[in-house]
């Protein structure tokens, strides 16, 4: 148990840094619009979606209608459907932990759990649960801290959010080095860049995921659905 | 601005987000066999999506105005090179992030 905690802590360390920083950013911003600790923690606990929470600050402080809020959430978070599809098999047989695992499936948790690099001799459901819970706690802590300390951070943190980019890059490189066929990775890269140019920074995620799915299915024979090791 | 509106908005955002996360698991429930094409997608999406997430993090970088995405380019390169050489996630992330922070705070 102790070694599992340690393993999970080390594995989630990059997410901890990122979540604390981004959470503080959220807390500060939400605070500046006149919302205190309780709404910030409530949002971090119940919504638990980074980019959506930033969007929500604008919606709520601008007094958006509930219908607008619902639709915006639908658009910003629709990508989560694809994470779910990807985790269907991995979350099988996780029993009572499953609802929480699904609820807490953020971009970062997904990035840590979608691969094959699970620790040995550990119940995978337990491992998934701990990683999810640790990440959730980091996020809540960050959002609470930001709300409390306001903007009084003693050192220049500009650029520290790059750690999230770096996390995704290391996972990408790790995946690239561990498989022989790189077509899925290339499909993802090309689709994202093309859709970014076509649809712009605010609206390219969903088209990208649709394009990725279509291309993966078109190239199914070449990718070979059976083995990628 | 009243508290009812605030709480309702938060609950609504939470409900829609959770619904999106639960949909695939409800649609492809354990009773039925998950379609083969969905299992296939589930297996290979991670490789594509990770590339997309990298692009997503860099989406706001402007290549046409100063500093032309150079800090990001250098930061990304440092992470990739460190990772290929050391295969240690923490070293790669710390190295790239510190390098990026120094670049945007002190150099560019």
Q: Which residues of chain A have a CB within 8 Å of the CB of B107?
A: none
Q: Which residues of chain B have a CB within 8 Å of the CB of A207?
A: none
Q: Which residues of chain A have a CB within 8 Å of the CB of B83?
A: 169-170, 173-174
Whether B92 maps to a domain, the answer reads yes
Q: Which of B9, B23, B51 sits opposite A60 (nearest CB)?
A: B9
Q: Which of B42, B84, B93 sits opposite A88 (nearest CB)?
A: B42
Question: Where does B1-108 show beta strands of DSSP type E?
Answer: none
Mean pLDDT value of segment A113-133: 92
Q: Is the pLDDT of residue B33 over 80?
A: no
Nearest to B28 by CA among A164, A2, A167, A92: A92
Distance CA B20, CA A138 (A): 22
Distance CA A5, CA A22 (A): 24
Q: Which residues of chain B have a CB within 8 Å of the CB of A170?
A: 79, 83, 89, 92-93
Distance CA B98, CA A118 (A): 28
CB contact under 8 A, B93 and A14: yes
> Over the stretch A2-27, which tens digit does the pLDDT of each residue have?
789 999 999 999 899 889 988 888 88
Write out residues 6-45 of B within 8 Å (CB-CB) of A.
6-14, 16-18, 20-25, 28, 30, 34, 36-45
Q: Which residues of chain B have a CB within 8 Å of the CB of A168?
A: 50, 53-54, 57
Q: Is A74 on the interface with B (CB under 8 A)?
A: yes
Distance CA A201, CA B85 (A): 32
- Pick from A63-77, A111-125, A140-154, B9-23 the range whose average pLDDT is largest: B9-23
> Over the stretch A46-92, which tens digit does the pLDDT of each residue have?
999 987 888 898 889 888 889 888 988 887 788 888 899 999 989 98
Q: Which of A91, A169, A206 to mutate to test the interface with B (most CBs of B within 10 A)?
A: A169
Q: Is B74 on the interface with A (CB under 8 A)?
A: no
Please state the ipTM of this predicted complex.
0.86
The answer, yes or no, to whether the previous bond of B84 is cis (omega within 30 of 0) is: no
Whether B97 maps to a domain, the answer reads yes
Q: Is the pLDDT of residue B25 over 80?
A: yes
> Over the stretch A140-192, which tens digit does the pLDDT of each residue have?
999 999 999 876 766 676 787 787 788 889 889 988 998 888 999 999 999 99
CB contact under 8 A, B24 and A63: no
Is there a contact between A47 and A69 (Cβ–Cβ < 8 Å)? no
Q: Which of B13, B97, B104 sits opposite A73 (nearest CB)?
A: B13
pTM for the whole structure: 0.80
CB contact under 8 A, A89 and B80: no
Whether B70 maps to a domain, the answer reads yes
* pLDDT number for residue B39: 80
Q: Is the pLDDT of residue A228 over 50?
A: no
Token pair 């499909």 is found at A187
* pLDDT number for residue A225: 54
Confidence of residue B30 (pLDDT cuts 50, 70, 90): low
* Cβ neighbours of B4 (radius 10 Å): 7
Q: What chain B residue is nearest to A166 in terms of C-alpha separation?
A: B93
Is there a contact between B70 and B108 (Cβ–Cβ < 8 Å)? yes
User: Between these two residues, A226 and B52, which has the higher pLDDT value?
Assistant: B52
Distance CA A3, CA A159 (A): 33
* pLDDT number for residue A7: 93
Q: Which of B3, B12, B24 to mutate to test the interface with A (most CBs of A within 10 A)?
A: B24
Mean pLDDT value of segment A193-211: 89
Task: Give the domain range for residue B88.
Answer: 62-108
Handedness of CA A203, A136, A82, A75 (dihedral sign): negative
Distance CA B45, CA A87 (A): 10
User: Between these two residues, B34 and A123, which has the higher pLDDT value?
Assistant: A123
Domain positions in chain A: 2-159, 179-229
Mean pLDDT value of segment A115-120: 88
Whether B79 maps to a domain, the answer reads yes
Q: Which residues of chain B have a CB within 8 Å of the CB of A191?
A: 48, 52
Number of separate domains in chain B = 1
Report residue A151 as tokens.
């903007």
CB contact under 8 A, B20 and A188: no
Token pair 């393993």 is found at A7
């Amino acid at each position: 148990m102790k070694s599992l905690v340690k393993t999970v802590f080390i594995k989630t360390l990059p997410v901890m840094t990122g979540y604390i920083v981004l959470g503080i950013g959220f807390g500060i911003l939400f605070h500046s619009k006149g919302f205190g600790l309780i709404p910030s923690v409530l949002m971090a606990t119940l919504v638990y979606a980074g980019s959506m929470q930033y969007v929500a600050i604008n919606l709520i402080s601008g007094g958006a209608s509930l219908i607008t809020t619902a639709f915006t959430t639908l658009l910003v978070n629709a990508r989560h459907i694809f994470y779910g599809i990807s985790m269907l098999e991995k979350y099988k047989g996780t029993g009572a932990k499953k609802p929480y695992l699904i609820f807490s499936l953020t971009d970062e948790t997904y990035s840590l759990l979608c691969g094959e690099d699970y620790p040995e001799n550990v119940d995978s459901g337990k491992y998934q649960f701990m990683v999810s819970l640790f990440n959730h706690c980091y996020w809540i802590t960050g959002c609470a801290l930001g709300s409390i300390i306001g903007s009084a951070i003693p050192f220049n943190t500009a650029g520290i959010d790059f750690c999230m980019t770096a996390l995704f890059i290391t996972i990408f490189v790790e995946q690239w080095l561990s498989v022989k066929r790189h077509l899925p990775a290339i499909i993802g890269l090309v689709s994202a860049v093309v859709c970014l140019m076509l649809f712009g920074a605010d609206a390219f995620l969903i088209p990208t995921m649709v394009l990725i799915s279509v291309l993966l299915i078109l190239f199914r024979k070449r990718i070979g659905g059976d083995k990628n090791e | 601005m009243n508290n009812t509106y605030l709480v309702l908005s938060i609950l609504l955002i939470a409900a829609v987000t959770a619904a999106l996360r639960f949909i695939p698991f409800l649609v492809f429930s354990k009773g039925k066999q998950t379609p083969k094409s969905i299992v296939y997608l589930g297996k290979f999406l991670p490789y594509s999506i990770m590339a997309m997430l990298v692009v997503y993090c860099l989406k706001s970088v402007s290549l046409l105005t100063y500093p032309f995405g150079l800090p990001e380019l250098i930061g990304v390169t440092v992470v990739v090179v460190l990772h290929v050489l050391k295969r240690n996630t923490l070293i790669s992330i710390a190295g790239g992030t510190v390098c990026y922070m120094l670049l945007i705070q002190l150099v560019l």
